[in-house]
Amino acid sequence: MSRALTVAAGQLGPIERADGRPSVVARLIALLERAKAAGCALVAFPEMALTPFFPRRLVEDDEELAGYFESEMPGPETRPLFQAAADLQVGFALGYCERARQNGLERFFNSAVLVGPDGAVIGKYRKVHVPGTRDPVPGLPVQHMEPRYFSDGDLGFPVWPAFGSRIGLAICNDRRWPETYRLLRLAGAELLLIGYNTPAHLPDAPWQNDLRGFHHRLPMQAGAYQNSLFVVAAAKAGVEEGVEMLAESCVIAPSGELLAQAEGVGDELVVARLDLEMAERYRRFLDLEGSRRSEAYGPIAAPTR
Ligand code: CDT
């Protein structure tokens, strides 16, 4: 039996500080409309899809900083996107900066929501692997200071039954770590949606610059194969606030093969038709949850060095 789902990575070109929410939301809606025309049921949008990726610099103006965060989702400015989803009956995943209240305290997370074809929120994920430094690294022309602005995610890796599948979310740096895929797969996920803002060059490790695209795909293709998952990865791409971002949004099968990849560095829809049964076929073939494997591991040894 085949279970078909047509999905897309909704890649975005750069967002500049002067771009207000309405113009960004209009770009997201345009991608949803194109997704509808292409027969998609679901679109994955990037990490921080409403704002520039501001953690690459010190934001000392409180008003400016507050302007990057959403205290409700949807809020007044994002509601048109949710309405468009309901009108078109196309769901989406959207990365954004979340301002939350917990036990009377304000907390800030790098978050994403999964939204159904009725425009209602199905669930929320908060980025677990928050990379970079709290304070600027002396001498670095471009910083990466997510820990300055965000707490580590506290929701684990939830999986939701939706779109005839079981779906999990991850955000950017999460895609580089095997636990992300393993925990999601053990919780039943067969489709993983990832949004990212990845610099195309590393000023502190220029020797890796030629490998940026390879190191982007390598863990996702391995994670997909080793865990019998589909992966949809959506970039914020192009030159944003003077920093070149990796594009290369893509869709990956449980075989580890690339099904589709972005051609440009601007707003672009990267579409693939998934046979979700493929995840099940690979899961059974690899005997993914086979008990013999954990028996063979034995006790985990302490490092010897
Ligand atoms: N946004 C994000 O998580 N970016 C990271 C770059 C970290 S560089 C310190 C990534 O893994 O792409």
Taking only the tens place, the pLDDT of each residue in 231-266 is 999 999 999 999 999 999 999 999 999 999 999 999
Reported as type and span, the H/E element at residue 305 is: none
CA 107 to chain centre: 20
Ligand 1 centroid–CA 208 distance in Å is 14
Pairing of strands 91-102, 238-240: unpaired
pTM: 0.96
CATH class of 4-286: alpha beta
Is residue 197 in contact with ligand 1, taking CB distance under 6 Å?
Answer: yes
Apex 67 CA angle, 248 and 106, nearest 5 = 105
Ligand 1, atom nearest to 196 Cα: 1
Ligand 1, atom nearest to 127 Cα: 3
**Below-50 pLDDT ranges, the chain:** none
Is residue 173 in contact with ligand 1, taking CB distance under 6 Å?
Answer: yes
- Tell me the C-alpha distance between 8 and 233, whole Å: 9
Instruction: Report the pLDDT value the prediction gives residue 292, as an integer from 0 to 100.
Output: 59
Instruction: Report the pLDDT value the prediction gives residue 291, as an integer from 0 to 100.
Output: 62
**C-beta of residue 83 within 8 angstroms of C-beta of residue 96:** no
Ligand 1 centroid–CA 165 distance in Å is 28
- Residues 6 or more apart in contact with residue 117 via CB below 8 angstroms: 41, 85, 86, 89, 90, 91, 163
Is residue 149 in contact with ligand 1, taking CB distance under 6 Å?
Answer: no
